[in-house]
Structure 1
């Protein structure tokens, strides 16, 4: 069983009760400081906005000498926004603290347990099908809350089930939450694209926007949040005892199962209410309890839940208010409308996640080396048969990709096109189609080779280039370039994306290094970097190109739409140059999957070998992202299927994985271009929906090992 060790500084783990007696004076001092800080930030928050109402106008209102315009602005805009920030900060802070205690895991939160993603999808579905719209009418608002609650509850239950309640350690919990979150986000993006008119405005809202038009939503959800917080507070004593362990708690008469279920329900209710009010406000539920627990290590008795919950709530309010103030102070009042506050809190939360990951050690099921399946073919003849079968399937995918789409083409037409004997209309269709088909094949192969390499180096069968942040880093570089310099050439795009990927990889690798490279730490820091980089990408889109949401969603979802031969050429060159480098290191990759000692004994220079392999994987990923956008799970699924077929030797893995990756992305692209033609489903959404069940199965298969 995986064990989560206490941080080196002596900080207590999530949910651990404080042994020293409570010191009321010090506890009161902490609350006075936190309360005073909240009041000061709230006062500053009220002075910001898009109107000309300033501090003087508000002070005159306070003494009864203000004008009606200032009063209208205060009541209709600024006060609702400030109260919304207070409500969601308290709700997410308490919800995160409760989830951390139940999971006994300091990385549990509404984000990492996919509660926010599940609630977000539920609200988008409600809007898409006209069932309810968040913030519209009393009954509509309650319906949205109920839908968000159910969505968040299903997501959290699935994550906790796959991670054995979170007790197997932070790496498995984060990986399970990430997988479910990616699947839910893929579905959310799909419905945002398919129902763009019905869900207008929900892209920015989906990143946590505090914009309020009146007090109705705040007044409607305040009682729900108050009841949820009260329920968590009343459970505080039981959670203190439960932190000692299930058996000691049961001996003292605590109903363990009922207490866990009640706490999860209350935490999900609080998170769902926050999502209904302002959208998913990223990582407040992780950062606020983490900061509160850090303070609790220095104040005896403050770690008791009935004292910790209010402090986590106040800390959440401070984070939300400070983030919103910072955005408007730096970029102006209009930025508070255009830029979701959740983008800033997500970036902050990513930093907190990286900081926590550097303080934790986790070894267990997720660190078992990626080995071959017991049913894998061992003979050379069997391997060649699999290889030949994959080649045939990729060829069939290539032909199907050329024939299918919004305009169906016959095989005879394709043969005539190859012989340059088709008419203008078909020539135009096929000239536009072949770069997309080749781009999908090449990007899939590149991602699969990169994923095989990352899994071997990390000795983690659940790792892939996206999960360790490389894909998101390349995406930041590419989106920044097309946002500020939309007319740049393909090679510039590839160079910028590659540079951004390498910088991201260097940051993740450097932060993961503490006297050596720990694979669990690498994955956790990579996920934190990935989430932070995605927040930066969102910021670039909503701040500088807010009217082109479809472009943003298409890019973030991975699509071959509009690709040209010039744009896919860098992927082909990267495969030609970098794949031989990785193949040449196949022996080192075989040894790296075992442990750290065996390669050293056999003369392998461990760190240089890791660095070269991961750099090649980063460059392959960067070129694929610059060509077709962000496509996830290919680097996870293709290597796993390959090992199930041909075993664990990289001489066999690399070519078969490349073919399976090409097949997966090509099939997803063809299906996405065909099933709802002339509309299209981005290939990345389909690969995520295909890859997530497989990833869930992998987690389920090893959840208690």
Structure 2
């Protein structure tokens, strides 16, 4: 699979004066747009200060009220947007060059997630690190995350899909750990949820004056090594032949990029997608402005573009919803939504070579014998029963096997009956949700011919989450069935958006993953915006639901998942051969008489129904649909007739064990099953990526 930034032979360069003129026009346009938007930005606020007042102040006016409002309140926000935009634009440009991949950024390399986790952990545990401070803590967290992602994905253009998958897996685990700390230490981490979406609100100029010099110094250091970065970007062998220490240059560049991103995180919180969109836009202009191929030009222009993007997002936010309400919505939500749209458009237009074959990391084995398969299937069924029994007996109140027998026979006392009436629906909900998500993941992977597809990664889970959260937040007295219907509609809309967009490139692996990543990020940002606007003082309720919890589930909540499985499983059983054919290529099923569009649509509807039902029943649980099918193929081979039941059992066991751990480890407090699933399942998939990194 090729990188999106693999250097190619450039077209004939125009004369030098033309190149300089084009660059000058680009820089002037960015500066002009940025200046106009900055003036507009200063006029936006809750106080009635218009453009004339701001211009009068710039021309030497002495309106005390204007000075107080502009300098004390609006100028810090504007300067923070500029500093953070420049930092993220520079950071994204450097990371894209180091990995030779146009979608590398502080978001996709989990830098922001690592920095945020480090800050939340320090706040939760009350750790004092005077030698580091907040910036040092964020830097160490971001650097560790970036190093892990680059190690797993491989630097130097080894594949966009692998980079996205590695970054998503690491970020998922870190977000799960962060959310766990936010739930367990709600008082110590008060306010860090909204801050985690990226807010430009400032208390004076102290933060800007602290980090602006850091950004300036890093920019100078990057410009000093720009020539070596040019040579490394062209090729490692070429750079070494010219005496460049490639490893040292890459390591230094990554450290400086993470320092920029960490500074931005400390100043405003994690701001999404600016570090991806701004430098990517500039790189796309490189064919028209040839000098942009040189890092001495690319880096400052990318930083300038980042500042313009940040100011634009903040101006749009306050223009669309008003200055008063804009105080409640983090600017990072807007940048993430805009960046997600940009990524989807970019992914639809990119032409990527390479197939969507099963990666070596999946460890797919040859088909097992029928006897071995039946033994394995029986063992998994027994294990699922044992896990379900353990889930029924263990928790904040531990029961004995005799209590369970008495309850089944109707002879249990009121205490045991009360515990079982509350606990058994939770166990069954975990089993059904795990099986549903695993089946949905297997279908998505086969239909798209993409082993990286999964309800969460390709945005379907996020779409279901939006549907349910909209109903929960806007119609607080809504019943469960309305929430379930909304989740199903949201899942269907997200799936339609992803697959219709990816169909233009024949469901190419890179394109599908990029589109799904963008949709997933956009849905998460919209969910955060809904929570912030409608229920900012009750973060725990929303976090618990969004993290996938079986708490408070009754038998009524099981009905959608049971109905979905009863309807979908026979369909999947009937279409198991078609599912195998669709996973091969586009032509083979047509030659064998399969109506590909209809079959693909039917299977996708099945997967969407399963995902929507699972989200309606237990909330958002990620990663199960990715890990379970991979593990199933590693055990029984590729045939869907065997993969589907094994994956369903593995998914059910995984979620049930995660729910049991969440209810037992810190009893009487509880952790949502989705958090435990991510924490437990991510290391497994990281190990798979590590095995196949070469």
TM-score, length basis structure 1: 0.93
Cα distance, 1:113 vs. partner? Answer: 0.8
Find the partner of 2:99 among 99, 103, 109: 103
Find the partner of 1:675 among 656, 665, 671: 665
Q: Does 1:177 align with 2:177?
A: no
Task: Measure, in 2, the Cα distance between the counterparts of 1:480 and 1:166.
Answer: 42
Cα distance, 1:540 vs. partner? Answer: 0.9
Find the partner of 1:118 among 106, 114, 121: 114
Aligned to 1:127: 123
Find the partner of 1:484 among 474, 489, 493: 474
Cα distance, 1:337 vs. partner? Answer: 2.1
Task: Measure, in 1, the Cα distance between the counterparts of 2:59 and 2:458.
Answer: 55
Task: Measure, in 2, the Cα distance between the counterparts of 1:126 and 1:570.
Answer: 41
Cα distance, 1:407 vs. partner? Answer: 1.9
CA deviation profile, 1:309-336 (whole Å, cap 9, x unmatched): 1111111111111111111112122233
Aligned to 1:524: 514
Task: Measure, in 2, the Cα distance between the counterparts of 1:472 and 1:279.
Answer: 22
SS at match of 1:594: coil
SS at match of 1:243: helix
Task: Measure, in 2, the Cα distance between the counterparts of 1:376 and 1:416.
Answer: 46
Aligned to 1:88: 84
Matches within 5 A, 1:248-397: 248-364=238-354, 367-368=357-358, 378-397=368-387
Cα distance, 1:163 vs. partner? Answer: 1.4
Find the partner of 2:640 among 650, 654, 670: 650
Cα distance, 1:43 vs. partner? Answer: 1.5
CA deviation profile, 1:67-119 (whole Å, cap 9, x unmatched): 54443333332111111100000000011111111111111111111111111
Cα distance, 1:52 vs. partner? Answer: 4.5
CA deviation profile, 1:498-556 (whole Å, cap 9, x unmatched): 11111111111111112633233222211111111111111111112211111121122
Find the partner of 2:74 among 78, 81, 88: 78
Aligned to 2:210: 220
Aligned to 2:680: 690
Q: Does 1:592 align with 2:582?
A: yes
Maintained 8 Å contact 1:467/1:530:
yes
Task: Measure, in 1, the Cα distance between the counterparts of 2:244 and 2:447.
Answer: 45
SS at match of 2:564: helix
SS at match of 2:629: helix
Task: Measure, in 2, the Cα distance between the counterparts of 1:312 and 1:616.
Answer: 44
Q: Does 1:36 align with 2:32?
A: yes
Task: Measure, in 2, the Cα distance between the counterparts of 1:369 and 1:177.
Answer: 16
Structure 1 residues 397, 29: closer, same or farther in 2, change over 3 A? same
SS at match of 1:37: helix
CA deviation profile, 1:448-475 (whole Å, cap 9, x unmatched): 1111112222233332121111111111
Cα distance, 1:400 vs. partner? Answer: 1.4
Which deviates the most, 678-687 or 586-595? 586-595
Task: Measure, in 1, the Cα distance between the counterparts of 2:362 and 2:110.
Answer: 30
Structure 1 residues 76, 162: closer, same or farther in 2, change over 3 A? same
Matches within 5 A, 1:653-664: 653-664=643-654
SS at match of 2:669: coil
Cα distance, 1:180 vs. partner? Answer: 0.8
Which deviates the most, 361-370 or 680-689? 361-370
Maintained 8 Å contact 1:13/1:106:
no
| Aligned residue pairs, count | 692
Task: Measure, in 1, the Cα distance between the counterparts of 2:563 and 2:4.
Answer: 45
Find the partner of 2:196 among 195, 206, 220: 206
Q: Does 1:191 align with 2:181?
A: yes
Cα distance, 1:424 vs. partner? Answer: 3.5
Task: Measure, in 1, the Cα distance between the counterparts of 2:364 and 2:58.
Answer: 75
Task: Measure, in 2, the Cα distance between the counterparts of 1:239 and 1:28.
Answer: 23
Cα distance, 1:307 vs. partner? Answer: 1.3
Aligned to 1:634: 624
Maintained 8 Å contact 2:39/2:51:
no
Aligned to 2:524: 534
Which deviates the most, 527-536 or 56-65? 56-65
Maintained 8 Å contact 1:84/1:278:
yes
Maintained 8 Å contact 2:4/2:160:
no
Which deviates the most, 64-73 or 80-89? 64-73
Task: Measure, in 2, the Cα distance between the counterparts of 1:372 and 1:90.
Answer: 39
Maintained 8 Å contact 1:632/1:688:
yes
Maintained 8 Å contact 2:364/2:638:
no
Task: Measure, in 2, the Cα distance between the counterparts of 1:86 and 1:336.
Answer: 18
Structure 1 residues 644, 366: closer, same or farther in 2, change over 3 A? same
Aligned to 1:422: 412
CA deviation profile, 1:337-362 (whole Å, cap 9, x unmatched): 21010001001111121122223344
Which deviates the most, 374-383 or 472-481? 374-383
Maintained 8 Å contact 2:91/2:258:
yes
Task: Measure, in 2, the Cα distance between the counterparts of 1:203 and 1:93.
Answer: 24
Matches within 5 A, 1:427-576: 427-514=417-504, 516-576=506-566
Task: Measure, in 2, the Cα distance between the counterparts of 1:541 and 1:627.
Answer: 20
Q: Which runs of 5+ in 1 are unaligned?
A: 7-11, 134-138
Which deviates the most, 53-62 or 471-480? 53-62
SS at match of 1:566: helix
Cα distance, 1:611 vs. partner? Answer: 2.0
Task: Measure, in 2, the Cα distance between the counterparts of 1:229 and 1:17.
Answer: 29
Cα distance, 1:31 vs. partner? Answer: 1.5
Structure 1 residues 520, 27: closer, same or farther in 2, change over 3 A? closer
Cα distance, 1:430 vs. partner? Answer: 2.1
Cα distance, 1:55 vs. partner? Answer: 4.4
CA deviation profile, 1:409-445 (whole Å, cap 9, x unmatched): 2323333333333344433332222221111110001
SS at match of 1:334: helix
SS at match of 1:296: coil
Which deviates the most, 124-133 or 180-189? 124-133
SS at match of 1:464: coil
Aligned to 1:3: 2
Maintained 8 Å contact 1:166/1:173:
no
Structure 1 residues 92, 319: closer, same or farther in 2, change over 3 A? same
Cα distance, 1:287 vs. partner? Answer: 0.6
Structure 1 residues 19, 197: closer, same or farther in 2, change over 3 A? farther
Structure 1 residues 495, 206: closer, same or farther in 2, change over 3 A? same
Matches within 5 A, 1:55-74: 55=51, 57-59=53-55, 61-62=57-58, 66-74=62-70
Cα distance, 1:621 vs. partner? Answer: 0.6
Task: Measure, in 2, the Cα distance between the counterparts of 1:542 and 1:18.
Answer: 51
Cα distance, 1:659 vs. partner? Answer: 1.3
Structure 1 residues 333, 374: closer, same or farther in 2, change over 3 A? closer
Task: Measure, in 2, the Cα distance between the counterparts of 1:107 and 1:173.
Answer: 8
Aligned to 1:24: 20
Task: Measure, in 1, the Cα distance between the counterparts of 2:446 and 2:359.
Answer: 8
Structure 1 residues 255, 372: closer, same or farther in 2, change over 3 A? closer
Structure 1 residues 590, 482: closer, same or farther in 2, change over 3 A? same
